[in-house]
Amino acid sequence: MTNYDIITAAIDKYGVEPQLIVAIEELSELQKEITKYLRGKGSLDHIAEEMADVRIMLSQMGFIFDNFEKVTEWEGVKLNRLWKQIHPCDGDSCPIRWNDEG
Ligand SMILES: [Mg+2]
């Protein structure tokens, strides 16, 4: 039994709409655990558990929407954008700050 088998079996057994509702619920549970953590009442184990639930539901959503490749593409775009925000002076577009007077 692989993760693929389990994930596709869940969609087959429970259906697309119920699994999308579960995805929303799991996202909400993770939000709740994060807010509890920020209030000093959370548990790192509970956060990890909810992150696992969300990952499982993201996998199911990948099958439901048949968009694993598109998600991976977007992930690359977003990570690239984030890298540029963090390091705005990397690459050819870096403004020269130490010799602006020419
Ligand atoms: Mg959960």
Distance 32 CA to ligand 1 centre (A): 10
Q: For position 102, what pLDDT does the model report? A: 46
Q: Which of 13-17, 39-43, 47-51, 87-91 has the lowest mean pLDDT?
A: 87-91
| Domain enclosing residue 34, as ranges | 3-86
Distance 77 CA to ligand 1 centre (A): 29
Q: Is residue 101 part of a domain?
A: no
Contacts of residue 58, Cβ cutoff 8 Å, sequence gap at least 6? 23
Q: Is residue 14 part of a domain?
A: yes
Q: Is residue 98 part of a domain?
A: no
Distance 14 CA to ligand 1 centre (A): 17
Q: Is residue 56 part of a domain?
A: yes
Q: Is residue 27 part of a domain?
A: yes
Distance 85 CA to ligand 1 centre (A): 32
Distance 76 CA to ligand 1 centre (A): 27
Q: For position 89, what pLDDT does the model report? A: 79
Q: Is residue 58 part of a domain?
A: yes
Q: Is residue 91 part of a domain?
A: no
Rounded mean pLDDT, 66-72: 98
Q: For position 1, what pLDDT does the model report? A: 95
Q: Is residue 68 part of a domain?
A: yes
Distance 27 CA to ligand 1 centre (A): 8
Nearest-angstrom CA–CA distance, 102 and 99? 6
Q: Which residues surround ligand 1, an ion (CB under 5 A)?
A: 26, 29, 50, 53
Question: Looking at the 3D structure of the chain, how many domains does it have?
Answer: 1
Domain CATH number, residue 48: 1.10.287
Q: For position 83, what pLDDT does the model report? A: 95
